[in-house]
């Protein structure tokens, strides 16, 4: 494998498939052959002959066909404009593929291992995930998982580079946005899972099921609940990204209407049954206005005190005498949505520890919990 990594440093790139059951590659399907053919595969979409090699499986640590085709088109576009920028893009995606290949050498998180007589298996991992609080999870999960998060961050950075260099072109703008948001939403989905594992209201049985889903997400890039529920969360995050708050009377009517119009039946059912609960209402208001529970109350109190009917977007900082606790959603910086979720999650945990009023879960956690209880 060291020889393979040396080849990657010289510009050849990426094994599209890895061995999950046997770390030693078959001679007939050598790593060197795959590496030398990477850019041919990306730029020409060459079909690889995998007959007779069932142990080779596609995994999440590689670009899918749509992403590879997008890279191909952007590289071709940059070749005609600026060879230095084109070379930079190629090097960046070579690094990304090398990272994915290196991470792929770690064993599956479901694979049993024995170290000095101590057996480690999937069930022990699931129980460990259920037993610790989410802020301390980093050193409790397999290295493959931690590294896979780094891969997603690197993938975000690589496609952000494409967005900087070619995002102004109509041909690429929406496709690049789709890939970047997909990466961010995957990271957010994992955070929501961890928050649910830390929820004291969930039974041990449900937490064990959630932990199993989380392991599936790590091992293959998807799981049963993600397939069922992530599309709604994905739509919710996308709708919020494209619908900045208007504030106005601070009732949230216009903000909720704009977001709901882009949502499906699952979301509408959730709202109908849960909007009457204080925590759901508070979490929804935080999500709609981009302000903390405490800040929303402060602005409303000032409107009442001075007999003001409405407040504008630019007036909010002056009403608070400081910058809002949560960063504003910025459609030009896709990281802002992830930061917005993490800020709300941390504030909710803080209220929970202090037994302070306000939402103690994010809207995303409340929604996922509702869907799980409906199963």
Query: Are both 18 and 159 inside the same structural domain?
Result: yes
Domain count, the chain: 2
Residue written as tokens 């142990």?
A: 55
CA distance 90 to 93: 5
Report the Cα–Cα distance between both ends of the chain, in Å, rounded: 45
Sign of CA dihedral 182, 109, 95, 79: negative
**151 within domain boundaries:** yes
| Residue 288: closest CA among 220, 325, 237, 225 | 237
pLDDT score for 12: 32
Query: Are both 64 and 205 inside the same structural domain?
Result: yes
Query: Are both 46 and 150 inside the same structural domain?
Result: yes
**140 within domain boundaries:** yes
DSSP per residue, 101-119: HHHHTSPPTTS-EEETTEE
Q: Which of 175, 195, 222 is the last residue of a domain?
A: 222
Query: Are both 8 and 49 inside the same structural domain?
Result: yes
- Measuring CA to CA, how many Å separate 297 from each of 171, 317, 344? 44, 14, 16
pLDDT score for 133: 59
pLDDT score for 94: 96
Instruction: Give the helix, strand, coil percentages of the chain, each rounded to 5.
Output: 65, 5, 30
Over residues 204-229, the pLDDT tens digits come to 888 888 888 888 777 766 667 767 77
Give the total residue count for the chain. 375
Over residues 179-193, the pLDDT tens digits come to 998 888 888 888 888
The helix or strand, by DSSP H or E, that contains position 373, with its residue range, turns out to be helix 363-373
Query: Are both 194 and 311 inside the same structural domain?
Result: no
Q: Which of 222, 254, 277 is the last residue of a domain?
A: 222
**231 within domain boundaries:** no
Query: Are both 174 and 285 inside the same structural domain?
Result: no
pLDDT score for 49: 38
Beta carbons within 10 angstroms of residue 138's beta carbon: 10
Domain of 357 in residue numbering reads as: 238-373
pLDDT score for 9: 34
**233 within domain boundaries:** no
pLDDT score for 41: 43
**114 within domain boundaries:** no
Query: Are both 196 and 266 inside the same structural domain?
Result: no
pLDDT mean for each 10 residues of the chain (375 residues): 36 33 36 41 40 35 92 95 94 96 86 79 81 69 85 94 92 92 84 83 85 78 71 82 79 81 85 93 93 94 88 84 80 82 93 94 90 80
Tell me the two tokens of residue 72.
Answer: 């191909």
Query: Are both 271 and 322 inside the same structural domain?
Result: yes
CA distance 76 to 42: 11
**115 within domain boundaries:** no
The helix or strand, by DSSP H or E, that contains position 96, with its residue range, turns out to be helix 83-104
The helix or strand, by DSSP H or E, that contains position 56, with its residue range, turns out to be strand 56-57
| Residue 52: closest CA among 15, 27, 23 | 27
Beta carbons within 10 angstroms of residue 137's beta carbon: 16
pLDDT score for 58: 34
Is residue 89 a contact partner of residue 74, using CB atoms and an 8 Å limit? yes
DSSP per residue, 17-38: SEESS-SSPPGGG-HHHHHHTH
- pTM of this prediction exceeds 0.85: no
Query: Are both 271 and 213 inside the same structural domain?
Result: no
């Amino acid at each position: 494998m060291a020889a393979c990594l040396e080849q990657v440093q010289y510009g050849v790139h990426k094994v599209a498939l890895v061995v999950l059951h046997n770390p030693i590659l078959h001679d007939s399907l050598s790593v060197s052959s795959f590496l030398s053919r990477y850019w041919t595969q990306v730029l020409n979409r060459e079909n690889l002959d995998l007959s007779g090699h069932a142990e080779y499986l596609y995994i999440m640590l590689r670009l899918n066909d749509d992403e590879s085709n997008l890279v191909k088109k952007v590289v071709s576009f940059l070749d005609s404009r600026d060879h230095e920028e084109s070379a930079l893009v190629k090097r960046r995606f070579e690094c990304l593929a090398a990272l994915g290949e290196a991470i792929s050498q770690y064993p599956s998180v479901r694979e049993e291992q024995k170290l000095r007589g101590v057996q480690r298996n999937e069930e022990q991992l699931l129980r460990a995930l259920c037993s610790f609080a989410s802020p301390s999870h980093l050193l409790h999960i397999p290295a493959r998982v931690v590294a896979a998060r780094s891969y997603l961050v690197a993938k975000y950075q690589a496609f952000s580079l494409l967005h900087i260099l070619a995002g102004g072109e109509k041909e690429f703008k929406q496709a690049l946005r789709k890939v970047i948001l997909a990466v961010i939403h995957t990271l957010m989905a994992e955070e929501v899972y961890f928050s649910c594992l830390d929820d004291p209201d969930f039974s041990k049985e449900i937490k064990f099921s959630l932990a199993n889903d989380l392991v599936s997400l790590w091992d293959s890039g998807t799981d049963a609940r993600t397939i069922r529920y992530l599309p709604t969360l994905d739509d919710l995050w996308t709708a919020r990204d494209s619908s900045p708050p208007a504030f106005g009377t601070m009732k949230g009517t216009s903000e909720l209407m704009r977001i709901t119009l882009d949502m499906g039946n699952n979301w509408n059912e959730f709202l109908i049954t849960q909007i009457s609960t204080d925590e759901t209402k508070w979490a929804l208001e935080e999500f709609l206005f981009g302000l903390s529970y405490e800040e929303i109350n402060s602005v409303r109190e000032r409107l009442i005190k001075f007999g003001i009917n409405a407040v504008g977007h630019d007036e909010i900082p002056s009403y608070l005498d400081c910058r809002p606790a949560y960063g504003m959603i910025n459609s030009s910086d896709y990281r802002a949505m992830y930061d917005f979720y993490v800020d709300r999650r941390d504030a909710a945990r803080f209220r929970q520890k202090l037994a302070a009023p306000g939402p103690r879960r994010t809207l995303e956690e409340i929604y996922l919990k509702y869907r799980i209880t409906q199963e």
